[in-house]
Amino acid sequence: MLADTPLAYGSFGENLTTQGWTDDRIHVGDIYRVGTALVAITIPRKPCFKLNARLGRDDVLPKYLESKRTGFYLSVVEPGVVAAGDSIELVASIL
């Protein structure tokens, strides 16, 4: 998407970055165990103009939205500790 721009984790404003997970396998209402925390999927993310400003480019937001991989907001159901490499396990699904 932005091969000419180096991107560190958190560049898109995310607090939790996963690998191999795509938006089509996540559903609003699903509950996951991440580390020792329990989180619920609340709503899809819809990034705003600040993403372009943060990265200093005018084309980031349209490309990001076009990718259909914008992510989701989570709510904490049960606090816990989350660390890099922790497993993410589906606890309950709405489907």
As a whole number of angstroms, the distance between CA 64 and CA 75 comes to 23
Structure tokens at 39: 């989180």
- Residue 2: band (very low, low, confident or very high) from pLDDT cuts 50, 70, 90: low
Q: State which amino acid sits at residue 49.
A: F
Instruction: Please list, in sequence order, all residues whose beta carbon lies within 8 angstroms of the beta carbon of residue 66, skipping any fewer than 6 positions away.
Output: none
* pLDDT (average), residues 14-36: 86
State how far the Cα of 40 lies from the Cα of 15, in Å rounded to an integer. 15
Reported as a single tens digit per residue, the pLDDT across 52-83 is 777 777 877 777 777 777 788 899 999 999 99
Please, how many CA atoms are within 13 Å of residue 57, restricted to the half-sphere of its CB? 15
Q: What is the pLDDT of residue 80?
A: 97
**pTM for this predicted structure:** 0.74
Q: Indicate the pLDDT class of residue 28, thresholds 50, 70 and 90.
A: very high
